[in-house]
């Protein structure tokens, strides 16, 4: 079972390393990880996709809470959160295939970020699943390079949103 | 003032009595500041590992934060073992290390190493001080983090130029640690549920770990046990947290615990874990551990709840108020635990600790004699190394007062005993501090005898000398078909008594009961640093024993008919 965690950490040297080191030491698996600034200059957000096949989500969250730089740990439950990912895909595109590829990209809302004589770089933002699909579709055309940011997420804006904080409320 | 002076003013403001360390290049400004004057006593160790274990011994004997200091590079890496030990045993420790100048960091400079990076997995938190103006707040935060919540080690790495830089010193009143929020009290509903579970149980037991000592909650523990008439087993880390002469004390659980103690824990219908973490050395095979028990788990660290064993009733909070509130909430049914206590007493009669007396001198006899000679005293502090002697010390020494038994539990650090004893003596100058050591352990940290003598922190070291890495020998004997490999240290080399004299102490070599008794009596009364080299039977195994990964019911007991002949 995989879960997405949104973790707010103090923007201090080593904060990310403390989180990833704890995952490594305890044998917790990270599927993807995205780090960046937030609305507060002194706080960063780490979005983690974790595999809970061997460890309970609760244990992972509690271990994270023990880190001094960690301010908040929140599970982004499916349906109660918005998750997006950005991908850049360099696809082989001889002149004969260009039109087909570009119309495929349009169907997914992907932009052409760069265009060369033999290839196109597409830029796609979407749910990780949408990116998976697009990747699969362009792969037969010759996927030369791929870069994905890892998923980023926030709790929904709608009222009644239930992406709940997961501290140990015992 | 300089950053170095500011460090000392911070330690003084934190009411630090003593720090343990060893100078070197990158920490020179701090030692120069010491020469200008401070109220904090500095104890000069002979090795940074010794300084770290001394600070641990001090912390464990006093209940305060231990402080150790080392230079950059190798000085700092020599602290890694004590820091890891403090991490595993939740010992409050502040390690201060010098670092190369800020401008040199990252250039592979002389004696540079990334000690904050190296220690990340074994500290609660660490700081590399980049601006001298941050120093007071960082040190205040370091002490706060080390001693609040679940105790443990922190590290402050201070580049040399930061120690030399000038600042306007103000010691902050408070610290800003928005991400550090240890629980302040247990949830009342959970405490009520715990009280109901205890009252309903027919075979309850308190399984007490070192957290009770860190929480200064031993009085509250005693009150709970007596109020509910609850038997108590104390782990190695908690030895002394509950008076061992008390009728409710049910011994020590785990790999070398007496059979009756392990039976009491494993056949209980309710296990109340108090500041304990279900360590593998206590549980053995997890699926067979206390299989019929409901578990109530009281701990200040939420992450310990259900980490190993599912907790049916978790209570997260500082143990002192939690235990007090649990006692208040508990309405025991009169006489309910009577039959259970009688059952444990029967097992106790049935399965006493046993060994075969005779010649040569038995290691168990050394511990029994030490116990006889110190019986009834509340001013003896024991430390140990790690191995067979440590387990015999656990079995045969009776500790009735908290903080009287200081040992390396989680990490199992050989060589812990001597420096820990020096630190304990600094904390308890009035006490007789005795290190029960093995000959292997002794040779790992013996140089701190010089510290004990020259710093006037006299300790008694009793070497249970079997000439072997005894516990390894026991495992090779029992589980590797007697293929002994690289374990023979030799009983007479070095000559430990002569070594003691070389370090300015008093040395004894004993080979019989009579010599042993006489030497121990003299050593305990001498007030000097003494080494008693007790040459014991190397064939002796430590029993009972639950093999690693086995269940308590599979305990191997001493059997005179199956003596292994070496």
- Secondary structure in 3-state letters for chain A: CEEEEEEEEECCCCHHHHHHHHHHHHCCEEEEEEEEECCCCCEEEEEEEEECCCCCHHHHHHHHHCCCCEEEEEECCCCCEEEEEEEEEEEECCHHHHHHHHHHHHHHCCEEEEECCCEEEEEEEECHHHHHHHHHHHHHHCEEEEEECCCEEEECCCCCCCCCECCCCC
CB contacts, 8 Å: B126 with chain A: 14
Are the Cβ atoms of A68 and B307 closer than 8 angstroms?
no
In terms of DSSP H, where are the helices of B256-336? Answer: 259-266, 280-283, 319-329
Query: Residue B261 CA to chain centroid, in angstroms?
Result: 21
CB contacts, 8 Å: A44 with chain B: none
Burial (CB count within 10 angstroms: exposed 0-12, middle 13-18, buried 19+), residue A142:
middle
Q: What is the pLDDT of residues B355-393, one digit of tens each?
A: 999 899 999 999 999 999 999 999 999 999 999 999 999
What are the beta bridge partners of residue B434?
B382, B460
Q: What is the pLDDT of residues B120-165, one digit of tens each?
A: 999 999 999 999 999 999 999 999 999 999 999 999 999 999 999 9
pLDDT of residue A56: 86
Question: Does pLDDT of B487 surpass 70?
Answer: yes
Give the percent of chain B with pLDDT over 70: 99
pLDDT of residue A167: 47
Interior angle at CA B502, CA B498 and CA B506, nearest 5: 65
pLDDT of residue B479: 94
pLDDT of residue B565: 41
Nearest residue to B125 (alpha-carbon basis) of A51, A102, A9: A9
pLDDT of residue B234: 98
CA A16/CA A30 separation, integer angstroms = 13
Q: Does domain B188-350 have CATH number 3.40.50.720?
A: no
- Give the CA distances from residue A161 to residues A82, B16, B420, in Å, rounded to whole numbers and listed in that order: 11, 50, 54
Q: Is B175 on the interface with A (CB under 8 A)?
A: no
pLDDT of residue A158: 77
pLDDT of residue B564: 44
Q: Is B315 on the interface with A (CB under 8 A)?
A: yes
CB contacts, 8 Å: B315 with chain A: 170
Are the Cβ atoms of B179 and A10 closer than 8 angstroms?
yes
Q: Are B412 and B386 in contact (CB under 8 A)?
A: yes
Q: Are residues A100 and A63 in the same domain?
A: no
CA B69/CA B51 separation, integer angstroms = 7
Q: Exposed e or buried b for every residue in A85-113, given b needs 16+ CB within 10 A?
A: bbbebbbebeeeeeeebeebbeebebeee
Q: What is the mean pLDDT of residues B500-523?
A: 98
Report helix angle B319-329 to B188-200, nearest 10: 50
CB contacts, 8 Å: A17 with chain B: 117, 120
CB contacts, 8 Å: B125 with chain A: 67-69
CB contacts, 8 Å: A13 with chain B: 128, 130
Are the Cβ atoms of A22 and B307 closer than 8 angstroms?
no
Q: Are residues A64 and A90 in the same domain?
A: no
Specify the pTM. 0.95
Neighbours of B551 (CB within 10 A): 18
Q: What's the CATH code, domain B363-542?
A: 3.40.50.970
Are the Cβ atoms of B302 and A170 closer than 8 angstroms?
yes
Q: Domain ends where: A33, A59, A75?
A: A75
Q: Are residues A93 and A125 in the same domain?
A: yes
Burial (CB count within 10 angstroms: exposed 0-12, middle 13-18, buried 19+), residue B117:
middle
Q: Is B335 on the interface with A (CB under 8 A)?
A: no
- Give the CA distances from residue B388 to residues B255, B414, B429, B500, in Å, rounded to whole numbers and listed in that order: 12, 11, 28, 23
Q: The domain spanning residue A50 has which CATH number?
A: 3.30.70.260
Are the Cβ atoms of A170 and B124 closer than 8 angstroms?
no
The SS3 call for residue B256 is: coil
Question: Does pLDDT of A163 surpass 90?
Answer: no
Assigned domain for A69 exists: yes
Q: What is the mean pLDDT of residues B440-451?
A: 98
Residues counted in chain A: 170
- Report the residue of chain B nearest A9, measured CA to CA: B179
pLDDT of residue A55: 78
Q: Is B137 on the interface with A (CB under 8 A)?
A: no
The SS3 call for residue B488 is: strand
Strand-strand pairing, A43-51 and A111-115: unpaired
8-state DSSP, B172? -
Give the percent of chain B with pLDDT over 90: 96
Q: What is the mean pLDDT of residues B517-545?
A: 97
Q: The domain spanning residue A123 has which CATH number?
A: 3.30.70.1150
Are the Cβ atoms of A63 and B180 closer than 8 angstroms?
no
Q: Are residues A133 and A112 in the same domain?
A: yes
Assigned domain for A114 exists: yes
Question: Does pLDDT of B559 surpass 80?
Answer: no
Q: Which class would CATH give B3-164?
A: alpha beta
- Report the residue of chain B nearest A69, measured CA to CA: B179
Are the Cβ atoms of A22 and B305 closer than 8 angstroms?
no
Q: Are residues A148 and A88 in the same domain?
A: yes
pLDDT of residue B560: 61
Which token pair is A127?
A: 């749910």
Contacts for B35 with CB less than 8 Å, ≥ 6 apart: none
Q: What is the mean pLDDT of residues B203-218?
A: 98
DSSP per residue over B102-138, as a string?
Answer: GGGTTTT-TT---HHHHHGGG-SEEEE--SGGGHHHH
Provide the residue ranges of all domains of chain B, joining segments of one domain with +.
3-164, 188-350, 363-542
Assigned domain for A161 exists: no
Q: What is the pLDDT of residues B19-68, one digit of tens each?
A: 999 999 999 999 999 999 999 999 999 999 999 999 999 999 999 999 99
Instruction: Dihedral sign for Cα B7, B8, B14, B17, please.
Output: positive
Q: What is the mean pLDDT of residues B229-254?
A: 98
The SS3 call for residue B403 is: coil
Which token pair is B279?
A: 């360590």
Q: Are residues A48 and A87 in the same domain?
A: no
- Classify B37 in phi/psi space as left (phi over 0), alpha (psi -120 to 50) or beta: left
CA B475/CA B467 separation, integer angstroms = 16
A157 to chain B, minimum CA–CA distance in Å? 25
Which token pair is B318?
A: 């500082």
Instruction: Give me the number of domains chain A comprises.
Output: 2
pLDDT of residue B566: 36
Q: Domain ends where: A75, A91, A121?
A: A75
List all residues of chain B from 186 to 225 with a beta carbon under 8 Å from chain A: 187, 190
- Give the CA distances from residue B219 to residues B223, B314, B446, in Å, rounded to whole numbers and listed in that order: 6, 22, 36
Closest partner residue to A71 among B179, B315, B316, by Cβ?
Answer: B179
Question: Could you give the maximum distance between any two Cα atoms of chain B, in Å?
Answer: 75
CA A15/CA A24 separation, integer angstroms = 15
State the residue for tokens 């990252």.
Answer: B106
Assigned domain for A86 exists: yes
Domain membership of residue A55 as a residue range: 2-75
Which parts of B417-548 are beta strand (E)?
432-438, 460-465, 506-510, 530-535
pLDDT band at A169 (very low <50, low <70, confident <90, very high): very low
Strand-strand pairing, A119-126 and A143-148: unpaired
Give the percent of chain A with pLDDT over 70: 93
Are the Cβ atoms of B179 and A59 closer than 8 angstroms?
no
Q: What is the mean pLDDT of residues B440-447?
A: 98
Q: Is B128 on the interface with A (CB under 8 A)?
A: yes
A82 to chain B, minimum CA–CA distance in Å? 25
Q: Are residues A57 and A9 in the same domain?
A: yes
pLDDT of residue A157: 87
Contacts for A58 with CB less than 8 Å, ≥ 6 apart: A166, A168, B306
Nearest residue to B139 (alpha-carbon basis) of B153, B155, B150: B155
Element (H, E) at B336: none
Question: Does pLDDT of B308 surpass 60?
Answer: yes
State the residue for tokens 């060893």.
Answer: B22
Q: What is the pLDDT of residues B76-95, one digit of tens each?
A: 999 999 999 999 999 999 99
Question: Does pLDDT of B339 surpass 70?
Answer: yes
pLDDT of residue A166: 47
CA B174/CA B529 separation, integer angstroms = 42
pLDDT band at A53 (very low <50, low <70, confident <90, very high): confident
Are the Cβ atoms of B303 and A63 closer than 8 angstroms?
yes
Q: What is the mean pLDDT of residues B303-315?
A: 97
The SS3 call for residue B405 is: strand
A74 to chain B, minimum CA–CA distance in Å? 14
pLDDT of residue B30: 98
Question: Does pLDDT of A168 surpass 60?
Answer: no
Are the Cβ atoms of B316 and A168 closer than 8 angstroms?
yes
CA B157/CA B152 separation, integer angstroms = 17
Closest partner residue to A62 among B116, B145, B302, by Cβ?
Answer: B302
Mean pLDDT is lowest, of A111-115, B193-197, B201-205, B548-552, for B548-552
For residue B341, the number of C-alpha atoms closer than 13 Å in the C-beta half-sphere is 16
CA B130/CA B113 separation, integer angstroms = 16
- Report the residue of chain A nearest B179, measured CA to CA: A71
Probe site for chain B from A7, A8, A66 (most B CB atoms < 10 A):
A66
Q: Domain ends where: A50, A75, A100?
A: A75
State the residue for tokens 């824990």.
Answer: B265
Mean pLDDT is lowest, of A48-52, A132-136, B176-180, B390-394, for A48-52
pLDDT band at A162 (very low <50, low <70, confident <90, very high): low
Report helix angle B363-374 to B513-526, nearest 10: 40
Q: What is the pLDDT of residues B416-428, one digit of tens each?
A: 999 999 999 999 9
CB contacts, 8 Å: A11 with chain B: none
- Give the CA distances from residue A2 to residues A52, A82, B282, in Å, rounded to whole numbers and listed in that order: 6, 16, 33
Contacts for B197 with CB less than 8 Å, ≥ 6 apart: B270, B294, B296, B312, B313
Closest partner residue to B145 among A22, A58, A68, by Cβ?
Answer: A68
Assigned domain for A132 exists: yes
pLDDT of residue A165: 52
CA B335/CA B135 separation, integer angstroms = 58
Q: What is the mean pLDDT of residues B313-324?
A: 98
Q: B3-164 and B363-542 share one CATH topology? A: yes
The SS3 call for residue B60 is: helix
CB contacts, 8 Å: B303 with chain A: 59, 62-63, 65-66, 168
Element (H, E) at B316: strand B313-316
Assigned domain for A166 exists: no
CB contacts, 8 Å: A63 with chain B: 303
């Amino acid at each position: 079972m995989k879960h997405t965690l949104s973790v707010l950490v103090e923007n201090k040297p080593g904060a990310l390393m403390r989180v990833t080191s704890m995952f490594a030491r305890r044998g917790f698996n990270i599927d993807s990880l995205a780090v960046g600034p937030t609305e507060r200059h002194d706080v960063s957000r780490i979005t983690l996709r974790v595999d809970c096949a061997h460890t309970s989500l609760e244990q992972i969250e509690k271990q994270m809470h023990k880190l001094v730089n960690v301010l908040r740990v929140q599970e982004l439950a499916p349906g109660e959160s918005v998750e997006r990912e950005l991908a850049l895909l360099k696809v082989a595109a001889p002149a004969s295939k260009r039109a087909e590829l570009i119309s495929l990209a349009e169907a997914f809302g992907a932009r052409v970020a760069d265009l060369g004589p033999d290839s196109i770089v597409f830029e796609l933002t979407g749910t990780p699943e949408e990116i998976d699909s697009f990747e699969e579709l362009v792969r037969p055309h010759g996927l030369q390079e791929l870069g994905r940011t890892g998923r980023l997420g926030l709790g929904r804006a709608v009222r009644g949103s239930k992406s709940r904080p997961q501290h140990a409320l015992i | 003032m300089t950053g170095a002076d500011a460090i000392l003013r911070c330690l003084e403001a934190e009411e630090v009595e003593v720090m343990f360390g060893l100078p070197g290049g990158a920490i020179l400004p701090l030692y120069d500041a010491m020469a200008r004057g401070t109220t904090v006593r500095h104890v000069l160790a002979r090795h940074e590992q010794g300084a770290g274990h001394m600070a641990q011994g001090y912390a464990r004997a006093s209940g305060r934060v231990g402080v150790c200091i080392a230079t950059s590079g190798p000085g700092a890496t020599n602290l890694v073992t004590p820091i890891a030990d403090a991490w595993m045993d939740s010992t409050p420790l502040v390690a201060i290390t010098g670092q190369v100048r800020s401008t040199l960091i990252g250039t592979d400079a002389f004696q540079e190493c990334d000690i904050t990076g190296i220690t990340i997995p074994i500290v609660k938190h660490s700081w590399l001080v980049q601006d001298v103006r941050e120093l007071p707040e960082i040190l205040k935060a370091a002490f706060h983090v080390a001693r609040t919540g679940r105790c443990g080690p922190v590290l402050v790495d201070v580049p040399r130029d930061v120690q030399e830089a000038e600042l306007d010193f103000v010691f902050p009143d408070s610290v800003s640690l928005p991400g550090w929020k240890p629980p302040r009290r247990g949830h009342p509903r959970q405490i009520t549920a715990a009280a109901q579970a205890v009252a309903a149980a027919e075979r309850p037991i308190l399984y007490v770990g070192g957290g009770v000592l860190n929480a200064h909650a031993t009085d509250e523990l005693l009150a709970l046990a007596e109020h509910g008439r609850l038997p108590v087993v104390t782990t190695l880390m908690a030895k002394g947290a509950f008076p061992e002469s008390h009728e409710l004390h049910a011994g020590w659980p785990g790999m070398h615990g007496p059979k009756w103690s392990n039976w009491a824990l494993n056949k209980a219908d309710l296990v109340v874990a108090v500041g304990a973490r279900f360590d593998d050395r206590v549980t053995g095979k997890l699926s067979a551990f206390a299989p019929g028990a409901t578990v109530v788990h009281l701990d200040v660290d939420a992450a310990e709840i259900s980490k190993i064993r599912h907790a049916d009733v978790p209570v997260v909070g500082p143990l002192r108020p939690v235990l007090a509130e649990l006692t208040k909430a508990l309405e025991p049914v009169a006489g309910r635990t009577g039959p259970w206590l009688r059952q444990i007493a029967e097992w106790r009669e049935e399965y006493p600790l046993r060994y075969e007396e005779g010649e040569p001198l038995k290691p168990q006899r050394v511990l029994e004699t030490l116990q006889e000679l110190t019986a009834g005293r509340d001013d003896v502090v024991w430390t140990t190394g790690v191995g067979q002697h440590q387990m015999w010390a656990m079995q045969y020494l009776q500790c009735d007062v908290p903080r009287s038994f200081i040992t390396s539990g989680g990490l199992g650090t050989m060589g812990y005993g001597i420096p820990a004893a020096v630190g304990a003596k600094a904390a308890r100058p009035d006490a007789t501090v005795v290190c029960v050591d093995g000959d292997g352990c002794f040779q790992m940290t013996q140089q701190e005898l010089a510290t004990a003598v020259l710093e006037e922190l006299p300790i008694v070291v009793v070497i249970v000398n079997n000439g072997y890495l005894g516990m390894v020998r026991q495992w090779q004997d029992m589980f590797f078909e007697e293929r002994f490999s690289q374990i023979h240290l030799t009983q007479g080399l070095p000559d430990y008594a002569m070594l003691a004299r070389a370090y300015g102490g008093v040395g004894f070599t004993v080979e019989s009961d009579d010599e042993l008794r006489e030497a121990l009596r003299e050593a305990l009364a001498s007030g000097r640093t003494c080494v008693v080299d007790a040459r014991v039977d190397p064939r002796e195994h430590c029993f009972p024993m639950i093999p690693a990964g086995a269940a308590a019911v599979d305990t191997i007991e001493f059997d005179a008919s199956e003596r292994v002949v070496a």
